[in-house]
Amino acid sequence: MPSLSELLDQLTHLKQEAEEELSLVDTPERLEAFRVKYFGRSSGLLTGLLKKISELSPQERATFGKVANSTKQYLQDRFEKKSADIRMEHEKPAPSTVDITLPGRRIPRGHAHPITRTIEEIVSIFTTMGFSIAEGPEIELDYYNFEALNMPKDHPARDMQDTFYLPGGFLLRTQTSPVQIRTMEKQKPPISIIAPGRVFRRDWDLTHTPMFHQVEGLFVDKGVSMSHLKGVLETFLRAFFGADTKIRFRPSYFPFTEPSTEVDIGCMFCNGKGCRICKTSGWLEILGAGMVHPEVFKKVGYDTDVYTGFAFGIGIERLAMLKYAINDLRMFFENDLRFLRQ
């Protein structure tokens, strides 16, 4: 297992190597080869190095994550500049074919989808705090989606999920919480992960769609308390919505956490005075969270006398709607060019 200093040295060496190689790139083909070599999702050198953050302690992850994100952004900026230079050089028409009196031809510019931008911002905030990213299957077993999360077959909370059931005992996951169970089965504490991804429920209206996105978080170690949960969530919400964001915690119920809480922020549309958006309350519900229920720890073989932890779940579409003032959830998925061009 590499140490923090070794990973930082590898990052520095990789940055120098990439800079030198990029300076020699002079064709679109070599530029694409450079992109795949360093930024490729499966075998990219930089991508592979960033994945090693999960092998560090929570304290070391924050340090490495900050340096790694800075290095990645630096190399991406250099790559974009080189890409623009090569494109201009290779797309330059012969002087004899250019009529400089003609109006210019505008090339349509693409933009990152609001959901993509929101996910990237959420991931960036939590990885800076030392969390690593975990993933799991979208087609799940009933055990991971319900039973291991303290929801047996007759539990009333199952009725809240509006589940898509599939043949053979499978289902489309209704939350990304199963990723937490799968992670705890494979790994002993300390654990600090977030699990962003698509989830599915049988619903369709102004505020619900059959497919949407969530990010679940899990932190397990010795001596973890509700105050740690509050600190993490307050840090995240103020980083995402602004330092002056008002936050409150309310008691709630979830079968996989005890005690459980729902988190609200002050309504940004009326500054807490009360409006149609916040139903005159002055507050907007943002997420659910709580301390991991002992029954969940028993399912994965954790000693409840030694370890405690907290978990939280955030609806990504809801955050995106508030961040970008979007009033109809269906606009994210209907491919209306008027919306996408904004």
CATH number of the domain bearing residue 189 = 3.30.930.10
Is 23 part of any domain? yes
62 and 133 part of one domain: no
Closest CA to 129 of 81, 194, 180: 194
Give percent of the chain with pLDDT exceeding 90. Answer: 43
Is 129 part of any domain? yes
Is 302 part of any domain? yes
- Sequence-ordered strand ranges (E) for 57-208: 132-133, 139-141, 170-172, 191-200
According to DSSP, the β-strands at 211-221 and 191-200 are: antiparallel
118 and 12 part of one domain: no
Is 105 part of any domain? no
According to DSSP, the β-strands at 132-133 and 191-200 are: parallel
Is 272 part of any domain? yes
Is 10 part of any domain? yes
> Mind giving me the DSSP string for 124-150?
HHHHHTT-EE----SEEEHHHHTGGGT
pLDDT at 5: 81
pLDDT at 207: 61
Residue 290 pLDDT grade (very low, low, confident, very high; cuts 50, 70, 90): very high
Average the pLDDT over 314-318 and give the result: 91
280 and 170 part of one domain: yes
Please answer whether residues 260 and 149 qualify as being in contact, where contact means their C-beta atoms are separated by less than 8 angstroms.
no
Is 212 part of any domain? yes
89 and 140 part of one domain: no
Residue 229 pLDDT grade (very low, low, confident, very high; cuts 50, 70, 90): very high
Average the pLDDT over 166-193 and give the result: 93
Closest CA to 225 of 292, 125, 298, 314: 292
Neighbours of 5 (CB within 10 A): 9
The average confidence (pLDDT) of the chain is 87
129 and 9 part of one domain: no
239 and 138 part of one domain: yes
Is 138 part of any domain? yes
pLDDT at 173: 93
Residue 233 has pLDDT above 60, yes or no: yes
pLDDT at 95: 60
Average the pLDDT over 238-266 and give the result: 93
17 and 86 part of one domain: yes
Residue 197 has pLDDT above 60, yes or no: yes
Number of domains in the chain: 2
pLDDT at 66: 83
pLDDT at 8: 79
Give percent of the chain with pLDDT exceeding 70. Answer: 94
Distance CA 73, CA 47 (A): 12
SS3 category, 75: helix
Residue 92 pLDDT grade (very low, low, confident, very high; cuts 50, 70, 90): low
pLDDT at 205: 64
189 and 313 part of one domain: yes
244 and 284 part of one domain: yes
Neighbours of 288 (CB within 10 A): 18
Give the residue carrying structure tokens 């290095």. Answer: 71
CA angle, 261 then 262 then 263, to 5°: 120
pLDDT at 135: 94
Tell me if the pTM is above 0.75.
no
pLDDT at 180: 96
pLDDT, tens digit (0-9, with 9 covering 90-100), for 211-228: 899 999 999 999 999 999
218 and 294 part of one domain: yes
pLDDT at 216: 95
76 and 180 part of one domain: no
Average the pLDDT over 76-93 and give the result: 81
Among 42-51, 187-196, 219-228, 289-298, the least confident range: 42-51
303 and 232 part of one domain: yes
Q: Which range marks the domain in which residue 69 is found?
A: 4-97
Considering 107-121, 174-188, 265-279, the range whose residues carry the highest mean pLDDT is 174-188
pLDDT at 305: 94
pLDDT at 93: 56
